[in-house]
Each structure stands twice: as C-alpha cells, then as structure tokens.
Amino acid sequence: MKNRLSQSALPALEILADVLDREQNAMISARGGRRRAVILDGPAGTGKTVVAAHRVAVSEDPESSGLYVTPTATLRDYVKPALPRLGIEPNRARVYALADLVAMLWPDWPWERDLTGVIPDSSHSGETWSQAFERYRKIANARVLYREAKLLLDGTSSERMGVADVAPSLWLAAWMGKSLPLAQPRWIIVDEAQSIPLLAYRAMAPWLGPKAHWVLAGDLMQRGAAREHSCGSRTSEKGDHAGL
C-alpha cells in the first residue's frame, strides 16, 4: 500500500505529534489487515515521520519491538529523542543509521571515522557483486574477500572503508547469511526512504526483516519514477514488499 501526503505540516517534529491533521490521522488509522509494507510518500514537511511512528504505535502489539532506520547519523540523532512523543517508547525502538548497521555487522573492518554522509548506491547490481564474491568464496576472511571483489569490479580498493562501501558490505552480509546481533524486529520504519540505496534495501529485506511490518517514509519524487517503480510497483494489495 502506498499513500502520498500533500499538506504541509508547519510545526517542528517535537510538537507535530500534538497537531495531527485529518489527512495524517486517516493514514494512521487506515485498516485493511496487517500489511507487509506501507509506503508513506510526500514532500518535506508533510509529517511522514509522525505518521510512520504513530501507525506502528497503533497497529502493532504494545510489547513489540522494532528498528527505526535512517540514511544518515544526523537524522538518527534528530529522530531518536522525539520517538516517545510519537508514541514509541525508547525500549521498543532501536534507532540506527545505515552505517551503524554495517559497523555492527563488520566491527573489525577499518571504517572511516566520518560516515555521516548520505550513503550512495552501488554502481554494480547485487547479482554482479554476488558473482564477484563467488569468485573469491574460498577466502575465509570476509574483509579480504570484499577487497578482492571490489578490486575486480572497480579496479581499485583502499584499506579504509567509506560511505561507498556501506551498501555493498550489506550485500556481502546477506550473501553470506550473516545476521545482525539483534533480536528479530517485529516492525521496521525507514525514514527518508528515498535516500537509502536500492542495493541496501535488497540486502536488508530477506535477512533483517523477512517477517517484519515495513513502513517506508520518504519523498519518492526525489528519486523519480525509477525508484518509485522499484519500491512501489511490486507492492501488492496486501502490501508484500517483493520490490524492496
């Protein structure tokens, strides 16, 4: 199911929860069964974050826990203290930037200190990365395997790992069947969803939340028709997120 918000919500995030308008309340309370994925599409300032959090708060078991994923650490730090005002208690939501997930998966890798920028999508498809990983399958060290695969595909590989390595590293984790050291989430909210690389979505969907209720909040117009097609057109009436 995909909804597009249109009316600008003037108050800032910390007080927006107290002044939800009719359009936002309608999307929060929309029924029709528990959907696998809900896409909240709208421009900046329409209250997507508020609607996403409140929808989880009213549709999920009060004891359920989940993940709140952001594309950057800046947005993570902005949203995290506001979640209680949005109906999600701190003990229910684990808030991570995309780079945080990668650092948990590969804590011993030499990551750059500054991973605060927007994570770019890979210039290679998941299938291309998988073929490269398969070529070096016999290498036991995952970091060395990734370095060799990157050298094969890009012709260069540095010792330090930066933002460009985040999405492919998530794909490597999925390819290897590596799990995050976290309990299986009941629900996953992705904020500024249009800024999450498609390769990262494809990596996260099968192993981070195969049974989770996904709520994607973002402005699909920022990524154009191609991203809307990849995230939305395969969403069935029941909300199965085969296109993530």
Q: What is the pLDDT of residues 158-173, one digit of tens each?
A: 888 999 999 999 999 9
Which of 7-11, 71-75, 79-83, 236-240 has the highest average model confidence (pLDDT)?
Answer: 71-75
Given a cut of 50, whether residue 19 has pLDDT beyond it is no
Only one residue has tokens 């029924």, namely: 31
For residue 186, the model assigns a pLDDT of 87
Q: pLDDT-based confidence at 11, cuts 50/70/90?
A: very low
The pLDDT > 70 percentage for the chain reads 74
Residue 2 pLDDT class (50, 70, 90 cuts): low
Examine the pLDDT at 23 and tell me if it is beyond 80.
Answer: no
What does the alpha-carbon distance between residue 206 and residue 61 come to, in Å, rounded to a whole number? 23
Residue 159 has a pLDDT of 84
Q: Each residue of 224-237: pLDDT tens digit?
A: 433 433 333 333 22
Q: Which pLDDT tens digit goes with each residue over 119-132?
A: 999 999 999 999 99
Residues near 112 by beta carbon (within 8 Å), at least 6 away in sequence: 160, 161, 162, 163
Position 46 scores a pLDDT of 73
Q: Domain residues of the chain, as ranges?
A: 2-102+182-232, 117-176
31-60 confidence digits (pLDDT tens): 444 557 788 888 877 778 777 877 777 667
What is the per-residue pLDDT across 192-218, written as a single tens digit (0 to 9) for each?
999 999 999 999 887 776 778 888 888
CATH number of the domain at 2-102+182-232, please? 3.40.50.300
CB contact burial 110-148 (16+ within 10 A = b; e otherwise): ebeeebeeebebbebebebbbebbeeeeeeeebbebbbb
pLDDT digits (tens, 9 = 90+) for 82-103: 888 877 888 888 999 999 999 9
- Cβ(78)–Cβ(109) below 8 Å: no
C-alpha span between 130 and 214 (Å, rounded): 25
Confidence bin at 108 (pLDDT 50/70/90): very high
pLDDT at 146 over 50: yes
Where residue 33 falls (left for φ over 0; alpha for ψ -120 to 50; beta otherwise) is left
Residue with tokens 């708060």: 57
- Residue identified by tokens 């291309």 is 128
Contact (CB, 8 A) for 200 and 227: no
Name residues whose C-beta falls within 8 Å of residue 142's C-beta, 6 or more positions apart in sequence: 106, 172, 176, 178
- Listed range (8-17, 47-56, 157-166, 178-187) with the worst mean pLDDT: 8-17
